[in-house]
Every structure is written in structure tokens, then in C-alpha cells.
Structure 1
């Protein structure tokens, strides 16, 4: 590990204010920049061969060294060596005036600009005007623009020409965390470097060296916890290390860091998952409410369960274990990984992911989270669908077969798919369903004009009442709803439509006016009270009831109900067997 250089202190001996570790140990040499070896090698070769680009773009997540690298490049290009006669170098001396001035942020030829607060085209005009003049005290005039993606479109456009052909004494260095927001016209004019997240092991060794310099004793497990929580960011990790040193008063243990990071609640998350896996609904709800009273938001509780399920899955496939979790927690994950099947883990993940969305979207977060847990408990006791289907294929479940049912209306007998989904409910009424009542279409359902479309007043007339209602709904949705829900057809022939059902004089007048507009005076409608014909809505309901009864009587569905005594049918798909055999109909 390399030594860490500190920024040069002022000449006087006055006591200095405390500087946080993230500033105190900012890299002042390329040797201090960890985890970016490929970029350092590229820059070193470019400087040695005098192939220095006119514009650089540093991109990466927070805290990986984008701005620090920009300053190091400025030092490398302007360093003159201890004797004042040196040239550009990948290893700036750090003692010459340009190096010290850049480190202290007072070098006149290195201009840093925060694009988050200077977003407009006027700010870019100032930059463009300044590049006309040569460097005052350095070799190059360098413009560092941080968070460059925050510039406006006009500002980018104003900079393009200068960025493409700047004077020889000018270099541009951009830094951004959101590369996708930088126009491609800018990307094509720069040399891009992607700074990677720092690996956890490298962060551990880096933080250990800093802790030693600070005289703080820290356990290796504590360093690993901090490195894992930093998520590849050196600055985030140094901020956590700074906090840990203050928290532990110089002696830092893993338990203290775990408590500082709020990781001790993971034990309660495992307790909650254990209650779900054992089917203890009362214990699961009690634990969820206890966490809620401690300030844990319901969506955070579900997210913690998701993280735990993901960690179990990683252990099951042999991936690296969670560095942040305690040894006890890792042992419990191993037990669950051996006991739970991959299908169960995937089912848990999908249910929790869907539940998290419901909790965040709903108005009653706690109640929704409770229902998510109960749904999860129910799913935990379900067998693997693949094993169930194999058992059905092997006929290991003895269920009496029932006879085939009469044809559904307007179709040949349909057979329900054996994969019809079921969900928990009572089963006494469903274990063996009686044959469904035979469905006979009402008289009015068959009342229609000839198969070919009739022609009245030179315009096509719908062939039957159903087609007429569909045509009306296009122009008059409210009138079409009345015809579907409340009006029943008695006859529809010879240019006359006779309706019965729920009388509505306004709708009848609107219907006759609509038919006059479309078909002239040869198609009329009148209303008769006291008829017992069925509306289209009632006909559709009867048809669906007949279909559902046929599905429940299917032998394959009966086998599923025998395997799941507490179940109810919630959805099914029928395969038509008429001439259009590829058509599928779904009922809910």
C-alpha cells in the first residue's frame, strides 16, 4: 500500500480546524488513487509519448475520484519539477509552485466550475472568452467542469466549437455521475475514462492504513462492514470510518459498527422470515407491528425481506456471502438455503416484489404489509407446481371421474386447461362438483335476420340484436349500455325490433332517432311491458355460469382440487374446438 500524502498545511503553527478524513486523505499523487490502474496507465503513456488529448471526461459513481483525478491531471501537465525545469509527468513532484498552488486551489490557470450552479449559456461565454488568452503562470490553462451533465442544452451548444478545436494551451476536463445526460456531440469530442467502483477488499486495506495513521484501533470485521456499506465509494467509506472512530472513541468493534449502520435490525428481519416459513401468522404480524412501533416503515420491512430472500438465493447458488451480515446470520442463511427449493425462493421473491409495489402505492401501508405477509405464509405451504403436475400425470391422486358435460352454447364441448390456477378457500363444496345444469339459449338469443346482411335504404343493417347493440355503442355509449343491461329483445325481424325489460322512454326515443339516421324509416323499435326475455347481460352471465360449471366438472380440475382441498377456482382458459381451433377464450 502506498503512503497517503496530505495537503500542505499553512506556514504558521496556529492550530488548524479538524478536517474530515475524506478531505484530509484526498489523493495528491496518482499513486494514491486506488482502483483505477487502467486509467493511470493510459494517462502515463499518453504523457510520456506527448499524446495528450485536449479534453477528458471522467465518469463514475460518487466518491471514486473523478474530481481528484481532474486535479491530478492538472498538476501532471503543469508540474515544473523541484528544479523548475521539468516537463509534464505522471508523477508530479508536489513541491514546485504549480503543484502546491493547484493542491491549495489557488493556481490562476486551473479554473474549476460547478455546472450545477453555472448552467447557462452566459457561463459558457465566460469560459469561451477566457480560452483566448495564454496561461499566466502555468504550461496549460485547464478548465475543470464538475457535474457537466447539469449544463443546459444551449450551454453545451455554445461550448461545442471551442471544445472541438481549442487553442494548444487549453485543456478541458469534465466530470459527471450521469453520463447518459451528456450529449453525444460532447462525448465524441472528449477522451472518456470510466472510473470503476473500488473493490471491497481494496477498500479494507485502504481504510486500515488510514485508521493506523489516525491512531485508531479497528477490527477487521468492522473494516469489512464499512467497506461493504460504502458500495465502492472511497468518499462514502471515509465518511463512515470518520463516524466510526468518533462512535467508538478510537476503539472500533464490528458490533459497534453494525449498530452504527443500523444493521442490528437484520436479526428481526430473520425472525420475521422464520415466522413466515413456519406458518405462524400471529407471530409474523406481531413482529411486523413491533418493528413498525420502532419506526420501521412497512415498505422498508418488505424490502428487508426481499434482501434476505436474495441473500439466501446467493448462498444457494454458491455466490459470495453478505459481508455486512453477522456470522450468526450467515449460518441461518445457509440453513434456509439447504431447506428451501429454488422454486420456493423465486415464488417468495415475486410475491414480495408485488407486495412492495402494493405497499408503496396503497393508502394503508401497514395493513397492506400485513396482507402481504399472510399471502406469503399461504404460499409457503404450497407444493412445487412441477411436482404437483408430475403427481397428476402419474395419477397418484385418486379422484372419481365424472362424465362429460353437454355442449356449451354455440360451441362444441370445451375442456379446461389442467393448469387452471387456484387460490385458497373452502373445498367442501368443490372437492367433487356435480354435473352443471344444462344450458339452453333463450328464444330471443336465436331471433335474428337471415345470415346475410339485409339492406334497407341502401345501408347495411346489423344481422342480429347483438350486432345492433355493438353498432349503437360506437355512436351512443349510454344508449348502448341501456340496450345491453336493461333491454331484452323479443323479436328482431321484418324491419321491426321489439324490446322488453326496464322501460326508458328517453332511450327509446334516442334509439328510434339513431335508427332513422342510419337506416331510414324502414327499421323501427317499440317497447312491450311484461316480457320475460333475457337481456344480453343476463345471457352472458348464464353462459359464463355454464362454462364455469363445465370447468369444475373436468376430471383434470377435479384432480387439482383433490390435491388442494382448500381451494377455489378463480380463473380459467377454454380451448375452442370449433373450426377456429386456434382461438382462445378467457373468463374471470
Structure 2
């Protein structure tokens, strides 16, 4: 260090002593520069890449074009400098030698023109004066222009033996494929929270700083995998708290919510203390945090509690030892289904937060929902409960229903008279009966249930509303015999019962002799055919009417009606709509045995003109003079 002499003859001795002390102070160097790795062994979190580069140097298997890609602050430029230094160290070369004359760094963000690349390529031809290789480090290479990339292609593909290019970028997708194909690519990963916290502890010990483990983990989480960001945050927090680095000081300086806030919020949710939960959220807003930050942190807290539920997933918890003990303790209180429902609610609030008009109300509503979840993961009025999906509104015994073999009647309401069973149906104590009238059952369970006829139904004095009856019929299914247990639709017993029912079922026999079988002529057929076409044409069914007019119907043997259509499309249209036609003809001709036969004959299509050319040819067949008219006036179709 250079000595600095200050001559102040008129100052007192005390001021001179203070000045002497200050002149000996060294300038402050940020930790990101002070603790920059000088060897591959010092690089944190990139062991796979550093081992590969070390082996490539030792085995003389190093490519001449390398591409280092990855997030910011993970060691791309640092590894490039270490590589440039190590490949030039030969024999007794000093380890302190940095070979600065052999290393050329170019910032492509500000030197991205074609002229800058041409100047670089012109220097490549000159061999190094000291060392073996000239190393060109181009940082932020994705910022080069298209023309600069093209000017760099040939040099990158066939560089001189003494030249090595190292390209570094955070956005590999912006580099053209022709450059990528000429490089050996190394993908740098984000540094884990554990590795970052360990390196911060090493720096804290070297600076004699007493740092809590939880404080270092919060800094590592805030850095999000970037070591340079972690070191910058570390310097900032040390400037704030001095030699004693606590979790409280870190959370206060970094403006992050402490773990204790989420632990307290979770305890209030489990205790269903909605007022206390809303007060805690208000205190959080008063500290300057927004609701989005709070709900996202709460969702992450629930995720960490879920991780602690299983022994194999505990390593996924990236917190300090003290915080881990608190997580393990609190994770024993809620169930897994509760946490799953809570994560879903918090994540839904996170998604809707930005589009919400009243963001605070959205978060408060989510907190109230969280405090209303049961420990089994189901809410009190969950959508999973209710008619048909959970327990029914009220329980009615099967004997309370009057059953016929083919239909199930509605339950009857109890009256003052005692039924044969002696007891009226009981309503479940946990549910309220619906205010509706129910008719009394008059049949005994010991006797076979009589058939419910339409006359008996008409005599019912107090009938249940039809909508309520339909709802109950859909909700409660009764077997064919009262008191029989329900079985699955795919069970063996149900299949057997279905088979017996099919065997016992009497087939309905239709007496064909009773059906109308009158004889009719082709003229009568065409008359009623034309009437039907006229009816559907007035109704607006123009396509069907046109298809039916395409050919006159012909009567064949056995009352078969035959028509011939020019294409399959018309045939399909008529077949799809023929039900109304056949019903009309059977009614008018008094013959139930009429059938329709449709055939396709493409030669008949010549009778119909669809395109302008076909229409012109049709007209020319009728009147050849029209062709002379077209030629005389030079007309186009």
C-alpha cells in the first residue's frame, strides 16, 4: 500500500491521530468480487460442469467454441475466466499469473455491430506472445445482431489453433441455430438454497460475523438460485445489522414476512378463529405488505406443512434447523386432506387476485373459507354433500314405500290412524323434514303390496307436488321387493335378476290381421304424395320437398313404393325424413304394409341443372338459337 503523508501544521494532535487512522482504511470491496472463485474447486453448485472442464484440460480434449448458458449469477463468466487462466498455465508458471494479455472480453450488449465482430476476427489471426492460447469471452452473446452473427460464423467454425471462444448468455433461445451447432453447450443450473446457505456461512465465518442459520436460509431463498444476488443481499443485511445477523433483522431489511406470521395464521385457521385471523391480516397490511404477498406465502407455508407429512419428503423443506422443528411440530395438527383443500383455496385466490376489483375482500373471503374447513377436508356445506351425492336430507325406511313390480309409488304421509306397522316413519334427527304433505300408507308389510291403479291414484286426497315427487324418485331408488338390500348394477345378483326378468317377460304379440290392408292405385299414391310435398313445402322444409319432387313415385308389388334419385346425398336426406311421409301415406291409403325403396341412378342427374354451365346447356337443348345469341354479343356464362 502506498504511504500518504498529510502535513497540517496548525491542527491539534488528536485530529492528526484520527486522520492517520482513516488513511490506513482499505477501500470496501463487495463480496461478489472479493470472494469470486479463482479455481474450479471454489465454484459453488456447478460440480458437473467444473469436473467436465477440468478433465477436458487434463486430457487435451477441449473444444475451441464453448457456450455457457444459464440464469444470472450462477458462475458463467467466472468459469470462463478460470478456464482461460488454466489452459495457459504451463510448467512452472506462477499460479498468480492471470494472463491478462491472452484474455479478451467483449460485452455483446454494447458491441453488437458487424464492425465490432470484424475487428475481433482480425485480432484472432495474431498468435499469443505469452502462454499457449488466446481466449475470447463474449458475454451476453444473444445481443449480437443478425449481421454480426453471420460475420462471426466462419471464424467460429474454423478458428486458428491458438484461439478459443467462450460465449456466455442467459437466453440461449435467441441465438441462431447455426451458432449453436458450432459450439459445445454447457447448461448452468440454479444454485440450491442449501449450497447458497453453506457458502454464505463460510463467508460469515471468514468475516467473523455471527449469523443465524434461519437468516442465511432466508437470504438464499430471496436470491432465487443466483449466488451474486445472495452475496449482494448479504452485504446489505450486514450493513444493516452489523456483526450479529438475526432472522428478525433479515426479514425486516428484506421486507419479507417472517415464518412466525404464517405459523400464527395457521394456528388461527385450525382454531377457526376468524376474527383473530382478520386482525392478523390487517396487521400484515399495516406493515406494508400487500394481500397477494400474504396469500402466496400462506400457500407456500401449507405446501411446506404437506411436505413434512412424510419422512421421505422432509428434505424438500428448504429452511433452517430451528424453522424445520416448528414445521414438523405444526404439521402434526392438520390432516393431509385439510392441507390439500387449503392449498387449493389459497392457489385459487392467487389466480384471481390480479383480476379482482376488491382484492382485500378476496383475501379475507379466502381466509374465512380456510377457517371453515373441517379437519377431514370437507367443508360444512360442501358441494360433495347433498341429495344424491352425500347423506340424504332425511332417512325413510324401505317398508314405508308401496311397491309394484314395475313402478315405485311415492311415500305416504302418516295420519291419525295407525298403520299396520304401528309406527310412522321417523325423520333423521340431524336433518329437518321438508314442509310438504305425504299420503298415509294403508298396506301392511306382512301382506303382499297391492297394485297401485290409476283409479286409486286419482282418489288420493292430499297428493305430493309433482316436482318433489320427481326429485325424490331420482334421489332414492327402491328395489323390486321391499326390505331387499341394494345391489350394484354390475353385481352378479343384479345380472341374474335381469336375466330372470327377461325370461319371465311376456312378449307382446301383434295380430297383423287387424291392421289396415287396403288396395290402392298408383294414381292415388301420387295424389297423396303430392299433397304431402305441398304440406312440407308450406312448412318451410324446402330441401325435403325438392328431393321428393325429383322423381314420381311408382307402385311395385307387395305395396312397395319406388323412387329413383340422382345422388346419395338426396337419398340420405329422404331416408332421414321418411318417417312423416310413411305415416301420412299409411293413414291416407289405409294400408299399414307400405314400404319405401330408394335407388340412386346418376344418369338421372342430367335432368337437373345445378351449375351455370349445365343450365346454359339445358336452355341450348330447348332452343339452339340461344347459342347464336351468345356468340353475336360475345357473352360469358
TM category, shorter: 0.5 to 0.7
Contact 1:225 1:323 in 2 (8 A): no
Deviation at 1:164, TM superposition (A): 1.7
C-alpha spacing 1:363/1:392, structure 2 compared with 1 (3 Å): closer
Q: 1:455 to 1:25 in 2, by over 3 A?
A: same
TM normalised by structure 2 equals 0.55
Does the residue aligned with 1:78 lie in a helix, a strand or coil?
coil
* CA deviation after TM superposition for structure 1 residue 26, in Å: 0.8
Quote the offset at 1:170 in angstroms: 1.8
Higher relative contact order (CA 8 A, sep 6+): 1
CA distance in 2, matches of 1:249, 1:142: 41
Secondary structure class of the residue paired with 2:168: strand
1:276 partnered with 2:269:
yes
Give 1:69 shift. 0.6
Q: Distance between the aligned counterparts of 1:204 and 1:220, measured in 2?
A: 8
Determine if contact 2:74/2:190 at 8 Å carries over to the other structure.
Answer: yes
Matches of 2:234 and 2:250 in 1, distance apart? Answer: 9
Q: Which residue of 2 aligns with 1:334?
A: 328
Q: Do 1:453 and 1:460's aligned partners in 2 also have CA atoms closer than 8 Å?
A: no
Give the drift of 1:76: 1.6
Matched residues in 2 for 1:38 and 1:450: separation?
85
- Contact in 2 for aligned 1:454/1:460 (Cα 8 Å): no
User: In the aligned structure 2, how far is the partner of 1:215 from the partner of 1:372?
Assistant: 46
| Within-5 A mapping of 1:503-582 | none
Q: Is 1:19 paired with 2:29?
A: yes
User: Which of 246, 250, 267 is the matching residue for 1:257?
Assistant: 250
Deviation by residue 1:327-384 (Cα, 9 ceiling, x = unmatched): 3x54553344333332322222222111112111223221222222233334457754
In structure 2, which of residues 38, 42, 46 is the aligned counterpart of residue 32 of structure 1? 42
3-state SS of paired residue (2:308): helix
* Paired position in structure 1 for 2:96: 95
Shift of 1:10: 9.2
3-state SS of the aligned residue for 1:360? Answer: coil
Report whether the alignment pairs 1:127 with 2:120.
yes
Q: CA deviation at 1:315?
A: 0.7
Compute the displacement of 1:232 (Å).
Answer: 3.8
Partner in structure 2 of residue 285 of structure 1: 278
- Residue 109 of structure 2 corresponds to 116
Conservation of the 8 A alpha-carbon contact between 1:279 and 1:380: no
Matches within 5 A, 1:377-526: 377-380=371-374, 384=378, 398-400=394-396, 435-436=466-467, 454-455=536-537, 459-460=542-543
How far apart, in 2, do the equivalents of 1:255 and 1:196 lie?
Answer: 30
1:373 pairs with 2:367 = yes
CA distance, structure 2, for counterparts of residue 455 and residue 134 of structure 1: 95
How far did residue 11 of structure 1 move? 11
Distance 1:315 1:148, change over 3 A: same
The answer as to 2:307 corresponding to 1:300 is: no
Q: Distance between the aligned counterparts of 2:151 and 2:536, measured in 1?
A: 70
Correspondences of 1:183-198 after superposition (within 5 Å): 183-198=176-191
**Cα 1:267/1:202, change in 2 over 3 Å:** closer
Distance change in 2, residues 1:54/1:394 (3 Å): closer
Q: Is the 8 A contact 1:275 1:283 kept in 2?
A: yes
> Of the candidates 341, 344, 357, which is equivalent to residue 338 of structure 2?
344
Cα distance change on mapping 1:383 and 1:16 into 2, 3 Å? closer
Larger Cα Rg: Structure 1 or Structure 2? 2
C-alpha distance in structure 2 between counterparts of 1:451 and 1:458, whole Å? 9
Q: CA RMSD in A?
A: 4.4
- Contact between 2:68 and 2:169, CA under 8 Å: does it hold in 1? yes
* Secondary structure class of the residue paired with 2:167: strand
> How many residues are paired up?
407
Question: Are 2:161 and 1:168 equivalent residues in the alignment?
Answer: yes
Deviation at 1:61, TM superposition (A): 2.6
Cα gap change, 1:437 to 1:50, in 2 (>3 Å):
closer
How far off its partner does 1:311 sit?
A: 0.8
The correspondence of residues 129-144 of structure 1 with structure 2, limited to 5 A, is: 129-135=122-128, 137-144=130-137
Say yes or no: does 1:320 pair with 2:315. Answer: yes
Shift in Å at residue 295 of structure 1? 1.2
Relative distance call for 1:10 and 1:254 in structure 2 (3 A) is: farther
Give the TM-score, by structure 1 length.
0.59
The one of 342, 355, 359 aligned to 1:361: 355
Question: CA–CA distance in 1 between the matches of 2:534 and 2:170?
Answer: 68
Q: 1:74 aligns with which of 68, 77, 84?
A: 84
Does residue 43 of the first structure (1) align with residue 53 of the second (2)? Answer: yes
Which deviates more, 63-72 or 338-347? 338-347
Distance in 2, Cα, partners of 1:202 & 1:438: 68
Which residue among 212, 216, 238 is the counterpart of 2:231? 238
Q: How does 1:212-251 map to 2 (within 5 A)?
A: 212-251=205-244
- Offset of 1:137 from its aligned partner? 4.7
Where does residue 68 of structure 2 map in the other structure? 58
The CA deviation string for residues 139-171 of structure 1, in whole angstroms up to 9 with x for no partner, is 323221122233344433432332222222221
Return 5+ residue gaps in structure 2 as ranges. 5-22, 402-407, 409-430, 437-463, 471-530, 547-637
Q: Closer, same or farther in 2 for the Cα pair 1:142/1:236, shift >3 Å?
A: same
Aligned to 2:598: none
